Amino acid sequence: MLSDEELEARFPDLPPEPDPELNNQTIAGIDLDGDGLRDDVQRYIYKRFPNDDQGRNALLRYAITHQNVLLTADDREASIEAKRRRFDASECIDGI
């Protein structure tokens, strides 16, 4: 796994590590780049899989869809669609 310094050197466009106190105030956390995924989760995936573009992209897609499931839990139709998308994303991971 990459250190924070290695991560920032290899992937300079990633958002910075968010302040944990602010980040953990909501399920959505902080998402400075607007990709639909908490920045701390995005950074973790990049740290853990720096050399596997295909695997990393599949995990990022799955994480985004999983976060969306959590965020749409109070809207039945949106939740059903989010779960369908999460299933599709899990199929991508299974295919790797």
On whether the pTM is more than 0.85, the answer is: yes
Question: What confidence tier does 94 reach under pLDDT thresholds 50, 70, 90?
Answer: confident
Question: What confidence tier does 95 reach under pLDDT thresholds 50, 70, 90?
Answer: confident
Domain that holds residue 37: 4-94
**Crossing angle (nearest 10°) for helices 39-48 and 53-71:** 160
Q: How many domains does the chain have?
A: 1
Tell me: pLDDT of 45 over 90: yes
Residue type at position 89: A
CA nearest to 3, candidates 47, 52, 36, 39: 47
Torsional sign, CA 18, 24, 25, 26: positive
Tell me: pLDDT of 21 over 90: yes
What mean pLDDT is reported for the chain?
97
* Cβ partners under 8 Å of residue 42, min gap 6: 14, 15, 33, 35, 60, 63
pLDDT in tens, 47-83: 999 999 999 999 999 999 999 999 999 999 999 999 9
